[in-house]
């Protein structure tokens, strides 16, 4: 009498292959996709269980593999999110926003700077990632080709509550108009202004400047600015009250005029802090700057 072959190995093998396909994919980023995947897996488990009169060792092994595979996918996703949004272990962001204007036409560059490749990724991403490594929230001001830049940010930081953007519809008036557009969205008591074409501002410089806020408040300062080898540098740290002074000037103003206007209006000035970080000056205006080994000349501060 011929021996009947149990279908268990066939169904179990099919389920295992399905699990391997579903759970070895790239990290799950969408909750809807997650729900669909787990539903498919549950259906597959049910199909296997129906084939038997009782739960046997094949189903038990399969369920164990399911739990292990789903857990592995979850942990992979967590590592991905931690790496993408919180680069340092034990990371605790400063309770400050960082405003990054990136709305200009890039006339001197000859090509659009935000998407110019720098160290293997778009230039703007380096500026955003460094700010995100230190600050609780980053606000990018878009303008020229704003839809493209916003799409890049949307894809890169999907699901993150720490990266936002605002469109400056009057970007042709200059960078200061972008700062004006951005300050209306600032939530923190102090906030940074960094530049989208400065990709080497180190995260620890943000923290270093933030450590002087208490002394600044006691010493009648609302603005903290790093100085590198005698030259004004970035990022600039401003108290939220400075936003009113920024909004009080015409769109063709500059941050230097803001400092003067704010001092005249409030009697509170600028606290300059020496730094040894060359990245606080390194900005990219031309293709030559992309390959320069030394720190290029800083942009004219009066333009900022």
Structure letter (DSSP) for residue 21: H
Could you state, in order of their start, the residue ranges of all structural domains in the chain?
8-85, 94-303
pLDDT score recorded for residue 25: 46
Say if residues 239 and 189 touch (Cβ distance below 8 Å): yes
**CATH class of segment(s) 94-303:** alpha beta
Q: Of 11-25, 239-253, 269-283, give the lowest mean pLDDT range.
A: 11-25
Q: pLDDT band for position 156 (50/70/90)?
A: very high
Q: pLDDT band for position 169 (50/70/90)?
A: very high
Higher confidence at residue 303 or residue 185?
185
Average pLDDT over residues 281-300: 68
pLDDT score recorded for residue 285: 85
Structure letter (DSSP) for residue 145: B
Structure tokens belonging to residue 280: 């606080």
User: At residue 23, does pLDDT exceed 60?
Assistant: no
Q: What is the pLDDT of residues 62-87, one digit of tens each?
A: 656 655 555 455 444 443 444 444 44
pLDDT score recorded for residue 89: 43
Q: What is the pLDDT of residues 75-123, one digit of tens each?
A: 444 434 444 444 444 568 999 999 999 999 988 887 899 999 998 999 9
- For residue 232, CA distances in Å to 62, 187, 251, 256, 263 come to 63, 26, 22, 11, 18
Scanning 51-109, the segments in alpha helix (DSSP H) are 57-85
pLDDT score recorded for residue 299: 46
Say if residues 235 and 201 touch (Cβ distance below 8 Å): yes
Higher confidence at residue 303 or residue 20?
20
Say if residues 262 and 224 touch (Cβ distance below 8 Å): no
Spatial distance between the Cα atoms of 147 and 213, rounded to a whole number of angstroms: 36
Say if residues 227 and 271 touch (Cβ distance below 8 Å): no
Higher confidence at residue 14 or residue 134?
134
pLDDT score recorded for residue 290: 77
SS3 call for 100: strand
For residue 134, is it left (φ>0), alpha (ψ between -120 and 50) or beta? alpha
């Amino acid at each position: 009498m011929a021996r009947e072959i149990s279908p268990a190995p066939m169904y179990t093998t099919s389920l295992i292959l399905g699990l391997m396909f579903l759970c070895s994919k790239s990290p799950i980023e969408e909750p809807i996709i997650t729900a669909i995947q787990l539903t498919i897996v549950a259906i597959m488990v049910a199909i296997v269980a129906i084939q038997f009169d009782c739960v046997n060792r094949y189903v038990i092994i399969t369920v164990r593999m399911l739990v292990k595979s789903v857990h592995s996918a979850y942990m992979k996703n967590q590592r991905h999110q931690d790496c993408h949004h919180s680069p340092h272990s034990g990371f605790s962001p400063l309770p400050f926003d960082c405003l990054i204007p990136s709305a200009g036409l890039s006339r001197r560059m000859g090509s659009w700077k935000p998407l110019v490749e720098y160290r293997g990724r778009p230039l703007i991403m380096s500026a955003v990632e460094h700010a995100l490594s230190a600050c609780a929230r980053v606000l990018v001001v878009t303008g020229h080709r704003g839809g493209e830049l916003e799409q890049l940010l949307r894809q890169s930081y999907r699901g993150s509550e720490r990266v936002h953007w605002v469109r400056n519809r009057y970007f042709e008036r200059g960078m200061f108009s972008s700062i004006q557009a951005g300050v209306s969205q600032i939530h923190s008591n102090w906030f940074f202004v960094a530049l989208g074409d400065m990709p080497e501002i180190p995260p620890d410089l943000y923290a270093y400047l933030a450590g002087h806020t208490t002394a600044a408040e006691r010493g009648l300062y609302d603005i903290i600015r790093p100085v590198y080898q005698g030259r004004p540098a970035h990022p600039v740290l401003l108290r939220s009250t400075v936003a009113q002074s920024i909004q009080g000037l015409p769109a063709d103003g500059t941050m230097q005029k803001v400092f003067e206007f704010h001092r005249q209006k409030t009697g509170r000035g600028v606290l300059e802090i020496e730094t040894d970080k060359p990245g606080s000056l390194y900005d990219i205006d031309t293709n030559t700057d992309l390959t320069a080994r030394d720190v290029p000349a800083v942009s004219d501060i009066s333009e900022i």
